[in-house]
A and B are shown apart, each in its own frame.
Chain A
Amino acid sequence: EVQLVESGGYLVQPGGSLRLSCAASGFTSSTHWMNWVRQAPGKGLEWVASIKLDGSKIYYVDSVKGRFTISRDHAENSVFLQMNSLRAEDTAVYFCPKSSRGAYDDWGQGTLVTVSS
């Protein structure tokens, strides 16, 4: 059974940094992709970043380029999102779904990031 557990969400001031973690279990294929998707309070879903698990490809939405970095640790079967220069508009629940053939087939429970002074 696939399990995805996000952690690291917190209350942080504008301009601050956070590192989100996503612990994955139940699969190890390097052909999968891992992604970060966020949902601002009361709003819809927004794709943030994706990484192929062999590390060969990484993509970001324009609004986070240069501020966020997605990475993975094969040994720990984890994916991370380093978030710098945080803004109020980054406030959201962050999910780390796994994807196969483009479909986000497994999701974790999400972790809440609040950017506020």
Chain B
Amino acid sequence: DIVMTQSPLSLPVTPGEPASISCRSSQSLLRSDGYNYLDWYLQKPGQSPQLLIYLGSSRASGVPDRFSGSASGTDFTLKISRVEAEDVGIYYCMQALQTPITFGQGTRLEIK
């Protein structure tokens, strides 16, 4: 199974400041079509998860452009250029390359 490891697990951020979450996979998520099968999700308090980033760096429909995803080998990063109050919640990375599909432990972003 592919193990997904996120850091940090808790992330206090001042509004307007940038934030970064890392996710490392235990093996390459690069498929033969040239894409990394790595997604990012945000679960806001009391809500279902929502897709933010797919295929490593593509923003989902309706996601603000302050969110961006990048990849370097088996290291993936979600960046928020300027955190807003509505960004609080738990962020998960997920590998969709092979079953079992696996998620990271989650990173809780809170506002300072």
Query: Which residue of B is nearest A6, CB measured?
Result: B48
Contact A47 B102 (CB under 8 A): yes
Contact A105 B96 (CB under 8 A): no
Residues of A at the B interface (CB closer than 8 Å) are 35, 44-47, 50, 59, 61-62, 95, 97, 99, 101-105, 107-110
B39 to chain A, nearest CB (A): 5
Contact B100 A103 (CB under 8 A): no
Contact A45 B37 (CB under 8 A): no
Contact B92 A50 (CB under 8 A): no
Size of interface on B: residues with Cβ below 8 Å to A: 26
B90-109, CB under 8 A of A: which get 1 and which 0?
Answer: 10101011011111111000
A62 to B100, CA, bound (A): 8
B102 to chain A, nearest CB (A): 7
- List B contacts of A45 (CB < 8 A): 41, 43, 49, 92, 94, 103, 106
Contact B48 A44 (CB under 8 A): no
A102 to B43, CA, bound (A): 18
Question: Which of A50, A59, A61, A104 has a CB less than 8 Å from the CB of B49?
Answer: A104
Residues of B at the A interface (CB closer than 8 Å) are 35, 37, 39, 41, 43, 48-51, 54-55, 60-61, 90, 92, 94, 96-97, 99-106
Of the listed residues B101, B104, B106, the one surrounded by the most CB atoms of chain A closer than 10 A to its CB is B101
Contact B103 A46 (CB under 8 A): yes
Contact B49 A95 (CB under 8 A): yes
Contact A103 B49 (CB under 8 A): no
Contact A103 B103 (CB under 8 A): no
